[in-house]
Amino acid sequence: MGSLSTENSTRSGAARHAFHGLLLPRSILNALHKRGIYCQPAVSLEHQHLANRYVLRGVESGGAVSDLGRACAFVATDGRSLPWLQRIDSIGVNGRHAIYLAEALVRLDMLRVGRTCELVVTLHTLSSIPGRSRPDILSEKIFHGRDGALAHDLWKQDQRALRGSVAPVFYSRAGEVVTLPAHFESAIRKVTACVCCIGCKHTHVGVPQVSEGSRA
């Protein structure tokens, strides 16, 4: 009975990670709020009336102070950077940076405490329901790394040049290095840069839309 209960608990935890992202204790959430780090990991379902279709909406957000950082970003299912629908400029820092719309999104949600990081990578797609026009959001966990170690103090001015080229190293319980999902290594390095970007006011992962004039 105990074994079955543990297995069910593990599956339930995996499902919550897939839908909500990182499951952080109240103490961490309070510390983020106190330091003014605002991260919005939620994925929502939106209806485009003119196109008569449903899409997923995600918001790249977050930033850092010297001892703490959290960031959430979104990429395509193959790991490529997504063009944002809208970049968000604000007076405040460590908040929302850009909005993305797509029929499928991969979310990267990372927390940094000092040099220790936790990362959850999740896939979000639309799931059709027979007899219903409104789909559900289907969420699946791709990767969960705990207690990842950063080799550099990327939040310090003299190590800023390393941002975007460094990611935490995660280990299994047996002490073996856990391989990062290959398609998302570049995006993981960029999210790592964001959780080390003090007073962040810009996107690290998304890219501008290509204008019609540029296409011509």
What is the tens place of the pLDDT at every residue in 61-87?
999 999 999 999 999 999 999 999 999
For the chain, how many structural domains are there in total?
1
Cα–Cα distances in Å, from 110 out to 94, 132, 134, 143?
A: 14, 35, 31, 11
Q: Which pLDDT score is estimated for 90?
A: 87
Q: Is residue 43 part of a domain?
A: yes
Average pLDDT along the chain: 89
Q: Is residue 212 part of a domain?
A: no
Measured between alpha carbons, how far apart are the two ends of the chain, in Å? Answer: 65
Distance CA 210, CA 115 (A): 36
Q: Which pLDDT score is estimated for 16?
A: 61
Distance CA 75, CA 82 (A): 5
Distance CA 109, CA 88 (A): 19
- Where does the pLDDT of residue 129 fall: very low under 50, low under 70, confident under 90, or very high at 90 and above? confident
Mean pLDDT of the region 151-172: 94
Q: Is residue 45 part of a domain?
A: yes
The letter for the amino acid at 183 is H
Helix (H) or strand (E) holding 7: helix 2-20
Q: Is residue 93 part of a domain?
A: yes
DSSP-derived secondary structure letter, 202: S
pLDDT at 104 over 80: yes
Q: Is residue 103 part of a domain?
A: yes
Q: Which pLDDT score is estimated for 20?
A: 73
Is 96 in contact with 105 (CB distance < 8 Å)?
no
Q: Is residue 107 part of a domain?
A: yes
**What length is written for the chain?**
216
Q: Is residue 214 part of a domain?
A: no
Q: Is residue 154 part of a domain?
A: yes
- Where does the pLDDT of residue 113 fall: very low under 50, low under 70, confident under 90, or very high at 90 and above? very high
* pTM to 2 decimal places: 0.88
Distance CA 65, CA 102 (A): 31
Q: Residue 144: give the domain boundaries.
A: 2-206
